[in-house]
């Protein structure tokens, strides 16, 4: 009977967290974060399979995987735990590990995208921009602090919780806690939206041009009417707006 | 160097959002000696950046390079205009940034397609038992993102700064007049895009926003 492989250490988990910052270094349309997932998991696989068996184990993890980059930490911890349990003798087939990744990817993406990209980033940015418009130099720092406080917490905590609880981390309690956090962020988003509107009105009120209030309202109406996922990019719309202004300034003297 | 660092932060490594134009603009402003001017250009670009979400397999516009090029162009043309108002440099910087974001997206898409070849090479090496190949490929991925970001930022800064200076020399007055009209319109559009992002999420959020807006208007009105 072959001896049991060595147990994974806390330092291995710390290295998984550090490597997860390069999860998207080789992002590609075919496998998206596949290579990055295997790269991040490598400290655990090396510990379990040793230098001789790690290449084979890594090859099993380079397949398609995609989720929110910060929330991938939960999947890394949980899949690392599955691999460790398997090495310690638990009967877990390859397909079960693949199935776990295929299930966790979209679930964590839905959670992470709505929490981080659709809520936290706009809230932090709106507050940062508001500070800049009020004349403060600390707007960008506020933005970075607000976003990264949760971002870095999720990166570290995800690997630890995923490792401790395995696939069980995805239980009702976690979903409830995160949905409470989402409600809190929604309220912050409303505050951010009003603060931004206020800063904008103050900024334009200070402009000497009599056309400024009308132009602000027209621009705001276009921005509000433009929806996510439209074929026409907002940047293109902005360029179009400037082109119209330039045409007017050139033709009407 | 700054363009390369921010391009790498956008996807390849860390993702601390240093690559967002609000931060990039401040850093570029610091480099050119006017942090607040850079921040203003970055702030307006940031509102436009919020409209694009990097969800699923979508390639977002390249606002990392835009955050460096925009403020640099604005600060380059600042002294060449007929008046001392910052409206025209701001608008020219933002317009340059939006253009760079659109073009840069094609470059990011090309880089990502190139990574497929690197991923296949890793497969072959892992099959031969070379586990270190994965680390090497990851490092190369970060280096490519850095190098292409740095090169693109440099080239677009040089080209757009020259183009805007030429436009100002050709008819500086028309540019100033266009900017006077476009500046509040662009701020309004950016704010509209941002507010739309902030109040998505169902009827309750929109109602809460409307209530907060009415409360804010009442407070402002009473305060007069």
Write down the ipTM of this complex.
0.94
> Tell me: the pLDDT tens digits for A203-225?
888 877 888 999 999 999 999 98
Q: Based on the domain organization, do A218 and A95 belong to the same domain?
A: no
Of the residues B7, B9, B14, B55, the best mutation for testing chain A's interface (the one with the most A CB atoms within 10 Å of its CB) is B55
Q: Based on the domain organization, do A241 and A116 belong to the same domain?
A: no
Q: What is the dihedral of CA A126, A131, A135, A138, to 10 degrees?
A: -120
> Tell me: the pLDDT tens digits for B193-213?
999 989 876 777 788 888 888
Q: Using 50, 70 and 90 to split pLDDT, how confident is the model at A1?
A: very low
Q: Based on the domain organization, do A161 and A227 belong to the same domain?
A: no
Q: Based on the domain organization, do A202 and A215 belong to the same domain?
A: no
Of the residues A234, A244, A247, the best mutation for testing chain B's interface (the one with the most B CB atoms within 10 Å of its CB) is A234
Assign A158 to helix, strand or coil.
Answer: helix
Percentage of chain A lying above the pLDDT 70 cut: 96
The radius of gyration of chain B from alpha carbons, rounded to an integer in Å, stands at 21
Q: Based on the domain organization, do A140 and A222 belong to the same domain?
A: no
Q: Based on the domain organization, do A218 and A181 belong to the same domain?
A: no
Q: Based on the domain organization, do A137 and A174 belong to the same domain?
A: yes
**Quick one: pLDDT at residue A203?**
87
Q: Is residue A126 part of a domain?
A: yes
Q: What is the pTM of this model?
A: 0.95
Within an 8 Å CB–CB cutoff, is residue B2 touching chain A? no
User: Shortest Cα distance from B110 to chain A (angstroms)?
Assistant: 10
> Tell me: the pLDDT tens digits for A107-118?
999 999 989 998
Q: How many CB atoms lie within 10 A of CB B127?
A: 12
For the cut 90, the answer to whether the pLDDT of residue A186 exceeds it is: no
Q: How many CB atoms lie within 10 A of CB B6?
A: 28
Q: Based on the domain organization, do A129 and A224 belong to the same domain?
A: no
Which of B14, B52, B180 lies at the smallest CB-CB distance from A21? B14
Q: Based on the domain organization, do A14 and A131 belong to the same domain?
A: yes
Which of A29, A212, A223 lies at the smallest CB-CB distance from B192? A223
Which of A185, A206, A227 is a domain's end point?
A206
Report the sign of the C-alpha dihedral through residues B6, A41, A168, A94, in that order. positive
**Alpha helix segments (H runs only) across chain B:** 2-7, 21-31, 35-49, 63-77, 87-127, 132-198, 203-223
Domain count along chain A: 2
Q: Using 50, 70 and 90 to split pLDDT, how confident is the model at A29?
A: very high
Q: Based on the domain organization, do A78 and A96 belong to the same domain?
A: yes
Domain count along chain B: 1
Range of the structural domain that residue A253 is part of:
209-253
Rounded distance between C-alpha atoms, residue A180 and residue B140, angstroms:
40
- How would DSSP label each residue in A64-107? -B---TTTHHHHHHHHHHHHHHHHTT----HHHHHHHHHHHHHH
Q: Is residue A3 part of a domain?
A: no
> Tell me: the pLDDT tens digits for A30-56?
999 999 999 999 999 999 999 888 999
Q: Based on the domain organization, do A239 and A137 belong to the same domain?
A: no
Q: Based on the domain organization, do A244 and A192 belong to the same domain?
A: no
Q: Using 50, 70 and 90 to split pLDDT, how confident is the model at A26?
A: very high
- What's the mean per-residue pLDDT of chain A? 91
Greatest mean pLDDT range, A193-202, B23-32, B166-175:
B23-32
Q: Is residue A4 part of a domain?
A: no
């Amino acid at each position: 009977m072959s001896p049991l492989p060595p147990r994974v250490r806390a330092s291995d988990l710390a290295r998984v967290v550090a490597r997860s910052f390069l999860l998207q270094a080789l992002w590609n349309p075919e496998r998206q974060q596949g290579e990055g997932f295997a790269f991040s998991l490598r400290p655990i696989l090396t510990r379990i399979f040793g230098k001789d068996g790690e290449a084979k184990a890594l090859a099993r993890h380079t397949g398609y995987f995609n989720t929110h980059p910060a929330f991938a930490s939960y999947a890394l911890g949980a899949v690392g735990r599955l691999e460790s349990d398997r090495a310690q003798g638990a009967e877990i087939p390859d397909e079960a590990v693949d199935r776990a990744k295929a299930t966790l990817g979209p679930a964590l993406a839905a959670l992470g995208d709505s929490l981080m990209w659709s809520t936290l980033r706009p809230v932090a940015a709106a507050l940062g921009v508001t500070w800049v418009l009020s004349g403060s130099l600390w707007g960008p720092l506020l933005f970075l602090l607000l976003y990264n406080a949760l971002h870095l917490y999720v990166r570290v905590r995800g690997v630890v919780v995923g490792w401790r609880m395995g696939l069980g981390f995805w239980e009702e309690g976690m979903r409830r806690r995160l949905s409470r956090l989402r409600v809190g962020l929604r309220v912050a988003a409303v505050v951010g939206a009003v603060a931004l509107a206020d800063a904008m009105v103050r900024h334009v009120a200070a402009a000497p041009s009599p056309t400024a209030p009308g132009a602000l309202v027209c621009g705001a109406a276009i921005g509000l009417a433009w929806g996510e996922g439209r074929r026409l990019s907002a940047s293109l719309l902005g360029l179009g707006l400037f082109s119209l202004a330039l045409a007017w300034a050139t033709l009407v003297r | 160097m700054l363009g390369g660092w921010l391009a790498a932060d956008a996807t390849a490594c860390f993702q601390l959002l240093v690559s967002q134009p609000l931060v990039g603009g401040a850093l570029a402003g610091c480099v050119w000696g006017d942090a607040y001017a850079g921040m203003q250009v970055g702030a307006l670009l940031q509102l436009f950046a919020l409209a694009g979400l990097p969800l699923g397999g979508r390639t977002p516009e390249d606002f990392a390079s835009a955050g460096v090029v925009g403020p640099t162009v604005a600060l380059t043309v600042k002294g060449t205009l007929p008046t001392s108002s910052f409206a025209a440099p701001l608008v020219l910087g933002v317009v340059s940034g939006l253009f760079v974001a659109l073009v840069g997206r094609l470059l990011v898409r090309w880089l990502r397609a190139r990574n497929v070849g690197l991923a296949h090479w890793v497969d072959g090496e892992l099959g031969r038992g070379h586990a270190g190949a994965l680390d090497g490929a990851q490092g190369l991925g970060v280096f490519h993102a850095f190098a292409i970001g740095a090169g693109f930022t440099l080239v677009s800064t040089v080209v757009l700064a020259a183009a805007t200076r030429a436009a100002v020399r050709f008819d500086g007055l028309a540019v100033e007049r266009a900017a006077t009209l476009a500046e509040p319109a662009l701020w309004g559009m950016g704010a509209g895009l941002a507010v739309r992002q902030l109040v998505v999420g169902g009827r309750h959020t929109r109602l809460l926003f409307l209530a907060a807006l009415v409360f804010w208007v009442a407070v402002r009105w009473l305060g007069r």
